[in-house]
Amino acid sequence: MAEIESEESRLRSVYAEIARLKREIDIKQRNLKRGASHFSRSATYNAKSEKARSTTTPTPSILTAPTSFLAGLKCPQTTEHEYIIDHQRRTLMTPRAMKRLQDQLKRRREEHTLKQAQIRAQWEQEEWKEFQRRNDLEADACDRIMIGSDVFGVKLDGSKLLPIRGQKHKEGETVAWNGWNFLVCKSGLLRRTFGDQPRDYCKYFTRSGMCDRGTGCLFIHDLSHMALCRQYLAGRCMGGNCVLSHEATEFNTPICRYHFQDRCVNTNCRFSHKLPPMAHDKNVSIRTCRPFAVGGWCVRGSLCPFSHLYNCPDYEETGQCPRGTSCSLTHNVTRRVQRMIAEPTEVDNVIIPFDIPDEEEKTVISSYTVDPKVLFVRSGQVKFSIDRPDDDLIIDLNSSEEEHEDSTFLDDTAME
C-alpha cells in the first residue's frame, strides 16, 4: 500500500514538472513573437549624432532590425568604415550606399509623378476637345458669341453657354456677359446664376418635322414652330403628305437672293423681300443667321440683323464644313473664303501666305460683333451697335413689314 502511494506522489511531481515546462515554453514562444514584431522597423544612420536610430518605413525589405538591439549599437569613429548591421550582426550597407539608393528612389518617384501629371494633362486636353466637338454639334443652330478669345454657343435664351473653341475656365469661376453672370461648371459649361432655365424646342422636329423620341422627347414639338418646305418655295410641293410647314412667316422664310441684287422679276415670288438694314451698303458684310440656316427658324424674325439665307455658316466663318457632303446648305466661295482656303505659296523655301491686297475692308455684322442684347429681341424697335476700333456703328431695327432701304447710322467708315 505504501508503495502505491509513493508511486502516485512521484507521478504527480512528474506531471507538475511537465506543466511547468509547458508554461515556460509558452512564455518563450510569446516572447519570440513579441520580438519578431520589432523586425518591421528599419534602421537608418544619423550622420550628425553618429548613432543608429530606428524609424518606420513602408519598405522594410531594405533594412530590418529590432529597436532593442539598435539602442545599444555603437558605430565606428571613422566614416570610412561606417556601416549598418541587422539583429544578427550582418552588414546591410554603408550610409553612403544607403543615401545613393534613397536619392535614386526619390528621382524615380519624381519622374513617375511628372509622367503621370503629363499623361493626366494630355487626357484632360483630349477630353476637353471632345466636349467642345459635342457642343459644336449640339449648338449647330445656335448663335455664336465670343468672350475674350473663347467661342460659345448660346442656348436657351442665354441661360446656358456651351464652349466650342478656346481654353477651359476654372470650376466655380464667374464669367460676365451681356450684363449677366455665369458660373463655370465642372465640365466647363457656363450656366446663368439667376432665372429658371426655359424649355427649348426640339431642333429635330423643327428642322425636319420628325423626332425619333416621339412623345418621350423632353423638348417642345410645336406644329407652328417648323421650318418651311424648300420644295414649296420652289413651287414643286403641293402639300399632301409633306411634314414641313407650308405657311411662310417672317421666322422661317429665306430672303430672295435675286431681290438681294435688285434683280427679282417674279411677281409670285414666295421668298421674303424684307432685307436686313444696310444690305445694299458695299462697305458692310452681313453674315448668315445660324439659327435660320441650320435650324430653319429664327425667333427674331424681321428684327434679325443677319441674313436669312440657306448658306452654310460654318463654311462662311472658317472655310470648313463639319457636316461634310451631307450638308444641304450652300457653300458660297467669296473672296474672303477663297483667301482662307488657299494654300500659301513657297518661294526659295520661304512661305508667303496668300493675300488679296486690293480687297476692300468691310464692317462685319455677325453674332460676334453686335450688341448681345440684339440676339434676344422679339418685337418692337431696337437700336444696336457694331464693335469697331474707332467708333460704334448704330443701326435701327423695327418689326414693321415695310422694307427699309435706308438705315440710320453714325459712321460709314469700313473695316473688316
Residue 140: which of 321, 302, 272 has the closest Cα? 321
pTM score of the predicted model: 0.66
- Are 186 and 65 part of one and the same domain? no
Q: What is the pLDDT of residue 401?
A: 44
DSSP assigned state of 358: T
Task: Quote the cell numbers at residue 133.
Answer: 466637338
Element holding 291 (H helix, E strand): helix 290-295
Task: Quote the cell numbers at residue 321.
Answer: 464644313
Integer Cα distance of 125 and 129 in angstroms: 6
- Are 137 and 53 part of one and the same domain? no
- CA angle (254 as vertex; 291, 214 as ends), nearest 5: 50
- Are 259 and 394 part of one and the same domain? yes
- Are 225 and 295 part of one and the same domain? no
- Are 375 and 275 part of one and the same domain? yes
Integer Cα distance of 29 and 352 in angstroms: 88
- Are 53 and 22 part of one and the same domain? no
What are the pLDDT digits (tens) for 32-49? 777 655 544 444 444 444
CB atoms within 10 A of CB 230: 14
Among the candidates 93, 128, 163, a domain finishes at 93
- Residue 284 pairs in a beta bridge with 363
Please name the amino acid found at residue 290: R
Please name the amino acid found at residue 327: C
- Are 12 and 45 part of one and the same domain? no
- Looking at the structure of the chain, the number of domains it has is 5
Cα torsion angle, 243, 247, 248, 251, sign: negative
Among the candidates 127, 161, 192, a domain finishes at 192
- Are 80 and 116 part of one and the same domain? no
Query: Does some domain include residue 101?
Result: no
Integer Cα distance of 213 and 204 in angstroms: 10
- Are 218 and 242 part of one and the same domain? yes
Kind of pairing, strands 284-286 and 363-365?
parallel
Q: Please, what's the largest Cα pairwise distance for the chain? A: 148
Task: Quote the cell numbers at residue 335.
Answer: 473672296
Query: Does some domain include residue 352?
Result: no
- 3 state DSSP class of 228: strand
Query: Does some domain include residue 178?
Result: yes
Integer Cα distance of 106 and 108 in angstroms: 5
pLDDT, block means (10 residues), the chain with 416 residues: 78 85 84 62 45 43 41 44 62 76 92 95 94 93 93 92 94 93 94 86 92 92 93 84 91 90 87 85 89 93 91 90 89 79 62 50 87 82 57 56 38 33
Q: What is the pLDDT of residue 284?
A: 87
Query: Does some domain include residue 122?
Result: yes
94 φ, ψ (degrees, to nearest 5)? -80, 155
- Residue 177 pairs in a beta bridge with 180
Range of the domain at 123: 112-192
Please name the amino acid found at residue 34: R
- Are 135 and 275 part of one and the same domain? no
- Residue 45 pairs in a beta bridge with 52
Element holding 73 (H helix, E strand): none
Query: Does some domain include residue 218?
Result: yes
Query: Does some domain include residue 405?
Result: no
Query: Does some domain include residue 79?
Result: yes
Q: What is the pLDDT of residue 4?
A: 78
- Are 263 and 215 part of one and the same domain? no
Rg (CA), the chain: 41
Query: Does some domain include residue 99?
Result: no
Integer Cα distance of 299 and 60 in angstroms: 72
Among the candidates 210, 232, 247, a domain finishes at 247
- CA angle (161 as vertex; 160, 165 as ends), nearest 5: 160
- Are 229 and 298 part of one and the same domain? no
Integer Cα distance of 305 and 288 in angstroms: 9
Say which residue the cell 409633306 belongs to: 242
